[in-house]
Amino acid sequence: MPITSYLVHPHEGKKTELTQVLLQLEQCEVIPAENKDILILVTDTDNKNQEALLKEKIEAISSLKLLAMVSGFNTPKNLS
């Protein structure tokens, strides 16, 4: 049940377009970061395969410049 957060870097002038595409994807939540050049993306999937497929989809978006993972480490043992 991975939940992962990313810093998302759009191509110049493409932030709105990227936000809209990401919002259309199920399992994605987009949060505007205080830093105006980036977005925060949180993905919520049922398993690692789903997560990998979703990541592939996101990386294929043309307005996306870079995707940098921040957290969502798989540490369920700590969440008792």
Residues forming the site for other proteins (CB under 8 A): 1, 3-7, 9, 11, 29, 31, 33-35, 37-38, 40-42, 44, 62, 65-66, 68-73, 75, 77-79
Nearer to other proteins, 35 or 49 (CB): 35
At 57, give phi and psi (nearest 5°): -60, -45
Give least dist CB 51 to other proteins, A.
11
Total length of the chain: 80
Nearer to other proteins, 37 or 53 (CB): 37
Report how far apart, in Å, the C-alpha atoms of 11 and of each of 8, 30, 47, 49 are: 10, 16, 29, 27
Encoded tokens for 57: 């989809």
